[in-house]
Amino acid sequence: QVQLQQWGAGLLKPSETLSLTCAVNTGSFSHYSWTWIRQPPGKGLEWIGDVNHRGSATYNPSLESRVAISVDSSKRQFSLKVNSVTAADTAMYYCASAPVNSSSWHLDYWGQGMLVTVSS
């Protein structure tokens, strides 16, 4: 069982940097790939990217130029940064875990979600 707790700033101005952190409270840290997903209000899910426990990250090509996902294994935390935000980045942001031995990269545990609003 993996428990994820996420936090960060919920209100940003255009051009600022979005910064969220997700703590892995229980479960093996090295047996998972750590993932960020977002969901604009009233819309579907969008995969942002993921990182393994060694810090190797993969990103959604549509966001890659503005996104960075990092990991701190000693603190059992991983983080998301999105720079130069606009109103289009307003969304519920979720962190989630994907077992590294999965043949389908399924997301088995999710954080509670964090609403980030970008407004001037």
Nearer to another protein, 65 or 74 (CB): 65
Q: Which H or E run contains 18?
A: strand 18-26
Nearer to another protein, 9 or 115 (CB): 115
Residues 64-93 that bind another protein (CB under 8 A): none
Residues 40-59 that bind another protein (CB under 8 A): 44-47, 50, 58-59
- Asked if residue 117 binds another protein (CB under 8 A), the reply is no
- State the CB neighbour count (10 A cutoff) for residue 59: 18
Q: Contact at 8 Å (CB) between 20 and 64?
A: no
The Cα 106–Cα 98 span in angstroms is: 6
Site string for another protein, 3-32 (x = CB under 8 A): ------------------------------
The Cα 33–Cα 53 span in angstroms is: 7
Q: Contact at 8 Å (CB) between 34 and 22?
A: yes
Binding residues for another protein (CB under 8 A): 35, 37, 44-47, 50, 58-61, 94, 102-108, 110-113
